Amino acid sequence: MDAIISLCKRRGFAFQSSEIYGGLGGFFDYGPLGCALKKNIKDFWWREMVQLRENVVGLDSSVIGGSKMWEASGHVAGFSDPMVDCRESGMRYRADQLFFSPVAISGKTICHLSILDSPQMEEDALAMARSLLKKRGESAAPDKLRLRPIAEATAEELRQIPSPATGTIGALTAPRAFNLMFRTSIGAVSDASATAYLRPETAQGIFVNFQNVLASSRLKLPFGIGQIGKAFRNEITPRNFLFRMREFEQMELEYFIDPDADWCRIHGEWVESRLAWYRSIGIGDKFLGKEVHAQEKLAHYARACTDITFRYPFGVCELEGIAARGDFDLRCHSAASGKALDYFDGDKHFMPHVIEPSAGVDRVFLAVLCAAYGEDEIGGERRTLLRLDPKIAPVKVAVLPLLKNRNDLLQLSREIFLKLRRRWNAVWDSSGAIGRRYRRMDEIGTPLAVTVDFESLENGSVTMRFRDSAEQVRLSIGELESAIGNLVDWK
């Protein structure tokens, strides 16, 4: 993970926001290559989910919503995480991600652990607890060592648990609910009527616009409304680089179906469809998995939910959730607004149910980098490379004159570059030895490099080099566009 973070900063994929002022926790800025890669991911999602589907349309709703909307959706009352504070350090933690285990071995021993919110977290936490006990010269039988989140601790147990920040026993406050929404106000007067919130998800903008879209698009069930946009959550403990942030971007689709339809089958089809999409952008099955939520762990509005997971360097974590939300959202907004948000079919009015595939752009971005990152040896030299799928690579082709002190090579290579740039994101690089320039392109994931040399001046041919294999082929300048298109264009 450290190598990927270092590459992101060094090559201009992502930077800590406000870095020159010490950084702003949970916020990141995307550099030249990062915003290009991010745009390609979003464009490919939009193409697959909206453009190529006759029964799906797009929407771009506001990032700010009035308090009535968020009260109706349940976010004002219920969009919160349990939080504990360390009285000594002022550090704040999610209580459901701090685990403890009271173990009576040579006196009372309390283990406290800050862990990842991943499907394997209990197993990992138990292993860490055993390691901690071993360092203290103690042991525990498997049935004696149980982990519970601090959110479930009694007042007596809480007084025995040391703070993760200072180690002081009893320094943690009792857990309390912490609402994750960013609150703001609209207009010059700051009273209750002006209260608004930055959206914590893009979905509600789709639900409140249901009738507007339906009336203007004349859609028939089943149909979908897709949206890509920013969302904001005041996370207690943002972490793991781009994985959990306070400002992030979502790609969401609300797929409306007849309440009498076989929602279980449709939900399963969407799960498989989304897995296939991740494979299509270069994420292999060795990184991907599925986690089906148990009934008792479902959100109150959900009938079912399956997460697509990714094996990040820091653990297996959610990449995308596909939820069957029933008619909860439309029904709540209809009741709160007094407006009909139903669907008319023949002789009956009813509330459609919805299947929601929801992915975080930033998590997909990070997953793509993790899956593509590699190190190998070419010609006796070590190199770092990103084996990005050519469809989403930020730079498609590099044009490289063999020497920078020959005007004829520079002129021909510039002509080729300017022609290719009309169609793809291309770069022109004349600085340094040709091998060094190849390595620079490999490291940013550029799938192809075109070298203009003396033979190019003689017969109009160039060398095309392939990133992953470092193999080279010779072809005419006239064949170049067709050859590049066959390798990097969306099919």
**In sequence order, what DSSP letters do the residues of 279-340 get, joined into one string?**
HHTT--TTTEEEEEPPGGGS-TT-SEEEEEEEEETTEEEEEEEEEEEETHHHHHHHHHH---
Work out the pLDDT band at 53, boundaries 50, 70, 90: very high
Can you tell me the distance from the alpha carbon of 239 to that of 244, in angstroms, rounded to the nearest whole number? 5
Work out the pLDDT band at 238, boundaries 50, 70, 90: confident
Where a domain ends, among 179, 207, 232?
A: 179
Q: Letter for the amino acid at 61?
A: S
Query: Do 145 and 244 share a structural domain?
Result: no
Work out the pLDDT band at 277, boundaries 50, 70, 90: very high
* Average pLDDT of every residue of the chain: 91
Query: Which residues are CB-contacts of 293 (< 8 A; sequence separation ≥ 6)?
Result: 302, 304, 305, 306, 307
Range of the domain at 263: 2-79+184-370
Where a domain ends, among 179, 206, 228?
A: 179
Where a domain ends, among 337, 370, 403?
A: 370
Instruction: Let me know if residue 386 belongs to a domain.
Output: no
Question: What pLDDT was estimated at residue 268?
Answer: 96
Query: Do 216 and 291 share a structural domain?
Result: yes
Question: What pLDDT was estimated at residue 314?
Answer: 87
Residue 116 has pLDDT above 60, yes or no: no
Please state at what angle helix 2-11 crosses helix 361-372, rounded to 10 degrees: 100
Question: By the 8 A CB rule, do 317 and 117 touch?
Answer: yes
Instruction: Let me know if residue 389 belongs to a domain.
Output: no
β-strand pairing of 343-345 with 348-350:
antiparallel
Can you tell me the distance from the alpha carbon of 424 to that of 481, in angstroms, rounded to the nearest whole number? 10
Q: 460: exposed, middle or buried (C-beta count within 10 Å: 0-12, 13-18, 19+)?
A: exposed
Q: The pTM is what?
A: 0.89
Question: What pLDDT was estimated at residue 62?
Answer: 97
Q: In what order do the strands lie in the sheet with 80-85?
A: 92-94, 80-85, 176-179
Query: Do 348 and 302 share a structural domain?
Result: yes
Least confident window among 42-51, 90-99, 348-357: 90-99
Work out the pLDDT band at 380, boundaries 50, 70, 90: confident
Residue 391 sits at the vertex; the CA angle it makes with 386 and 395, to the nearest 5 degrees, is 60
CATH number of the domain where residue 453 is located? 3.40.50.800
Q: Which residues of 118-150 are buried (b: 16+ CB within 10 A; e: fewer)?
A: bbbbeebbbebbbeebeeeeeebeeeebebebb
The structure tokens 């997460």 sit at 307
Percent of the chain with pLDDT over 70: 93
Q: Calculate mean pLDDT across residues 478-482.
A: 95
Question: What pLDDT was estimated at residue 96?
Answer: 84
Question: What pLDDT was estimated at residue 239?
Answer: 83
Least confident window among 54-63, 96-105, 286-295: 96-105
Give the DSSP H/E element, type plus range, for residue 363. helix 361-372
Q: Calculate mean pLDDT across residues 29-36.
A: 97
Instruction: Let me know if residue 385 belongs to a domain.
Output: no
Question: What pLDDT was estimated at residue 405?
Answer: 85
Question: What pLDDT was estimated at residue 105?
Answer: 38
Least confident window among 112-121, 143-152, 298-307, 336-345: 112-121
